[in-house]
Amino acid sequence: MPALEKLPMGPMYEETRYTDGVHVNVTIRKPVDNKGNPDSSRPILYIGHTAVNFGGMPPIPITFLIEGANSVESALQLYESNLHKAAQAALIQMGEEARRQKQQIVTATQVPPIPGMMTSAIAPKTQRGEKR
């Protein structure tokens, strides 16, 4: 069995999750050191998670930082405004990605002919019953 590369370990957090069981999901990430002790040199992060339906598409999961939050109560109060910012950014990103992909689409008229392959423009025309 091949040896697995050692995974790089980043800063550690203790997570607490709050949810309404339907739409609103808030994760609070409290920084800790590698022994699990609080690390006050880093900020506590309040992160929102939900799925947004942009109409005509399946719901898209969105995860976003709840800016300005410093408690569960403030995270819940700021949730919707931060979600709207994140959803707008996601729509812009999806539009840019669609434009990039559209530029990469190659149609049959853009493909050079393959050597030895006859296309309708150069294939000899035959009449009914005529032998080649």
In sequence order, what E strands does the chain have?
12-19, 25-32, 45-52, 60-65
pLDDT above 70: percentage of residues in the chain? 78
Domain boundaries, the chain: 12-104
What whole-number distance in Å separates Cα of residue 111 and Cα of residue 113? 6
What whole-number distance in Å separates Cα of residue 12 and Cα of residue 9? 8
- Res 129: pLDDT: 55
pTM greater than the 0.85 cutoff: no
Structure tokens at 73: 């109560």
Structure tokens at 113: 């002919």
**What are the pLDDT digits (tens) for 24-70?**
999 999 999 999 999 999 999 999 999 988 778 888 899 999 999 99
**What are the pLDDT digits (tens) for 63-117?**
999 999 999 999 999 999 999 999 999 888 888 888 888 777 666 666 666 666 5
In sequence order, what E strands does 2-131 have?
12-19, 25-32, 45-52, 60-65
